[in-house]
Structure 1
Amino acid sequence: MTAADPTAADQELMARAVRLAARGLFTTDPNPRVGCVLVQAGDVVGEGWHRRAGEAHAERIALAAAGPRARGSTAYVTLEPCCHQGRTPPCTQALIEAGVATVHCAMVDPNPLVFGQGLAALRAAGIQVRTGLLEAEARGLNPGFIKRMSSGLPYCRCKLAASLDGRTAMASGESRWISSEFSRLDVQHLRARHSAIVTGVGTLLGDNPSLNVRLAAADLPGMEPDEPVRQPWRVVVDTRLRTPAGARLLGLPGITVIACSAPADQRRVSQLELAGARVKQFPDHHGLVDLRALMSWLAEEEINEVLLETGPILAGAALTGGLIDELILYLAPHLMGDGARGLFQLPGLEHMEHRIPLIIDDVRRIGPDLRLLLRPGTAGAR
């Protein structure tokens, strides 16, 4: 049976599971965000969401809450239950042992260790399985996990702030502040959900950014007030190791990676490592760090979602390299003039047919600014 068969109650209960899963937005990394609801005779008898890697999965939390009432119940879970022994035991076995009668699963787990095998195990045990209910909403919870498992690359968002005439800095490099305090607060929430923030050495040298999350747990939905806030990796694309050992981000909690491609000067490497960095060399691509190799390595390190916060050179290289999945553009209501710096460095765009099309997914007001969510499109897209 498929998603063509659900009732209004089924839709409502899976939506409840999706909302539960979203409570793990800032904590579950590198695991997927998953929610589960158990229903017996129309009543919710147990529910849960996965909070963080190494802790109980959503299904086991819901089963523990339901106790004996789980027998004969219907489970609504946003991701296929796992069937392998990882940091925690398999959820399929827990569902089977608890006597759950039916499982509504929003989507198949793209993890090769699962990928349909969990559903097959449930069916083999006599449990009725239905798939596809609110699949789009479930996929929207975990774009990074899905992409990492299916393609070996993280999901990459590029965050940009610009004036209405598309300028990101004055010709001198001055850029503070283009967007409003409301947009900057929104960026803090954006950073908190990402596994890594990537910038270029030009931005580092010009702005000396921290690239950290400056919110408390109480500011992040789903977190307990006393929980530590996870800091995303900070990654500096620095071809020739120009990062100063005194850079602000090197002294902050969390992991900082300096990605270079030139033959490493061991003295500079040692200086940066003593300052707190991990120095990693990547292949050279036209005189720059090979960004695809960098992204592939980040995926190997279980980085799900990458936020690119950088200048026009690196942003342009990532866009033309097909590495950006989503653009988040904060447009401020002012003009900076034709001498100011643009959003992307895109050499070779000489005719209208060379334009890079974008698809607008969302537009909303953030204080005085506009926030646009866009995706790279295909030629002729409208």
Structure 2
Amino acid sequence: MSAVRLMEAAIRLSHRGLGRTAPNPNVGCLIVKDGMVIARGWTQPGGRPHAEAVALEIAGEAARGAELYVSLEPCAHVSARGPACADLVAASGVSAVHIAVLDPDPRTTGQGAARLRDAGIVVTVGTGEAMARAAMAGFFLRMERGRPRITLKLAMSIDGRVSMPGGESQWITGPEARAHVHLQRALADVILVGRGTLEADDPSLDVRLPGLQDRSPRPAVLSATLDAIPASAKLAARDPLLLASVDDLCGLTVNDVFVEGGPATASTLLAADLVDRMLVYRAPIVIGDGAPGAGRIGLERLSDAHGRWRLDETRTFGNDRLEVYARTR
């Protein structure tokens, strides 16, 4: 198997940690010897142990002379929670380390790779870099912009309405699209709504897919006027966060926030230019005089709206269509 294919396999392993490793990145690792994969690892829930530590423990002495493929540069800093992965890898006896992308964390950037080279290990960097960055998009954005990556989900009709005039919104999309939303929840660290959604819908904000129930992200409510989350709320038993402002949201030390709030929350985040990705689930229905997906977001001219969003992906779920947009910066 080629180095490219092996790195792609390591990166795919990293997806198993999405939404569970913050504030650490989700990393995947393979150890290969004589053309055979002898160990696999990915960052565990809570961020420790790291992917390399998991794989090396599985490989044991068989790691000597093997090659290690990892989606992110092995860390170079010692933590109270565990040793530096660069030191573990250097001591393991592997002959070569293939790194998809260097760690943007200033405590490691370049230092992990340098430490491995100093130990006489052949190090290559860059194979699968784009794929690795995409797999750790939330972590990279947090390192570069100092806040979590924020994904806004909207379920709307053809004419852009998210509810009936009286507020009824369950359900605009069909079961296939709703199942995909639950999968997206399972990949986030935090799921956010506003006070209006909390009081109108009393949402559970959990993951209700067979086998993934334990992947429910931590719930959060964004409200400048709410003093406390009611104990009677469905999400109250899951240690919810109460955020008074977008500054509180930006201060979270997590990688990915998934927003399912109503038009007011969507408007607040769009106006603050904090939405990095939008998932728009569009149902083949026309509602007419209902609530729009977002209210005023501060644009003064139509020309200001152009060039901000790039359509990255479209998919079909039953009768519904998903459009994935990325903020161009």
TM-score normalised to the size of structure 1? 0.80
- Report deviation, 1:366: 1.0
Alpha carbons of structure 1 residues 23 and 259: separation in structure 2 relative to 1, 3 Å: closer
- Report deviation, 1:230: 4.1
Unmatched segments (≥5 aa) in structure 1 = 1-7, 221-227, 261-288
Q: Report which of the two structures shows the higher radius of gyration computed on alpha carbons.
A: 1
- Report deviation, 1:33: 1.4
Which residue does the alignment assign to 1:69? Answer: 62
CA distance in structure 2 between the partners assigned to 1:50 and 1:346 by the alignment: 41
Which residue does the alignment assign to 1:20? Answer: 13
Which residue does the alignment assign to 1:239? Answer: 224
Q: Work out whether 1:376 is the aligned partner of 2:322.
A: no
Alpha carbons of structure 1 residues 347 and 116: separation in structure 2 relative to 1, 3 Å: closer
User: The residue matched to 1:364 in structure 2 has which SS?
Assistant: strand
CA distance in structure 2 between the partners assigned to 1:154 and 1:54 by the alignment: 16
CA distance in structure 2 between the partners assigned to 1:117 and 1:214 by the alignment: 42
- Report deviation, 1:233: 2.2
Q: Work out whether 1:11 is the aligned partner of 2:1.
A: no
**What amino acid sits opposite 1:199 in the alignment?**
V
Q: Contact 1:96–1:125 at 8 Å: present in 2 too?
A: yes
Which residue does the alignment assign to 1:186? Answer: 180
- Report deviation, 1:198: 1.5
- Report deviation, 1:165: 0.8
**What amino acid sits opposite 1:296 in the alignment?**
C
Q: Contact 1:60–1:91 at 8 Å: present in 2 too?
A: yes
Q: Work out whether 1:85 is the aligned partner of 2:78.
A: yes
**What amino acid sits opposite 1:231 in the alignment?**
S
Q: Contact 1:179–1:332 at 8 Å: present in 2 too?
A: yes
Q: Contact 2:76–2:84 at 8 Å: present in 1 too?
A: yes
Which residue does the alignment assign to 1:256? Answer: 240
Unmatched segments (≥5 aa) in structure 2 = none
Alpha carbons of structure 1 residues 233 and 244: separation in structure 2 relative to 1, 3 Å: closer
Q: Contact 2:269–2:275 at 8 Å: present in 1 too?
A: yes
CA distance in structure 1 between the partners assigned to 2:108 and 2:228 by the alignment: 42
User: The residue matched to 2:151 in structure 1 has which SS?
Assistant: strand
**What amino acid sits opposite 1:21 in the alignment?**
S
**What amino acid sits opposite 1:56 in the alignment?**
P
User: The residue matched to 2:20 in structure 1 has which SS?
Assistant: coil
Q: Work out whether 1:119 is the aligned partner of 2:103.
A: no
Alpha carbons of structure 1 residues 107 and 174: separation in structure 2 relative to 1, 3 Å: same
Which residue does the alignment assign to 1:4? Answer: none
Deviations 1:171-228 (A, max 9, x none): 2211111111111111111111111111111122222212222334x2x4xxxxxxx7
Q: Work out whether 1:297 is the aligned partner of 2:236.
A: no
- Report deviation, 1:64: 2.6
User: The residue matched to 2:17 in structure 1 has which SS?
Assistant: coil
Alpha carbons of structure 1 residues 173 and 70: separation in structure 2 relative to 1, 3 Å: same
Q: Work out whether 1:171 is the aligned partner of 2:165.
A: yes
Deviations 1:75-100 (A, max 9, x none): 11101011222212121112111211
Alpha carbons of structure 1 residues 244 and 232: separation in structure 2 relative to 1, 3 Å: closer
Q: What's the C-alpha RMSD, in Å, of the aligned pairs?
A: 2.1
CA distance in structure 2 between the partners assigned to 1:201 and 1:240 by the alignment: 8
CA distance in structure 2 between the partners assigned to 1:32 and 1:119 by the alignment: 17
Which residue does the alignment assign to 1:362? Answer: 313
Which residue does the alignment assign to 1:281? Answer: none
Matching residue within 42, 46, 71 for 1:53? 46
Deviations 1:12-35 (A, max 9, x none): 111111122222235333322111
Count of aligned pairs between the two proteins: 327
Q: Contact 2:31–2:67 at 8 Å: present in 1 too?
A: yes
Q: Work out whether 1:323 is the aligned partner of 2:317.
A: no
Deviations 1:99-130 (A, max 9, x none): 11111100111222212111111111121111
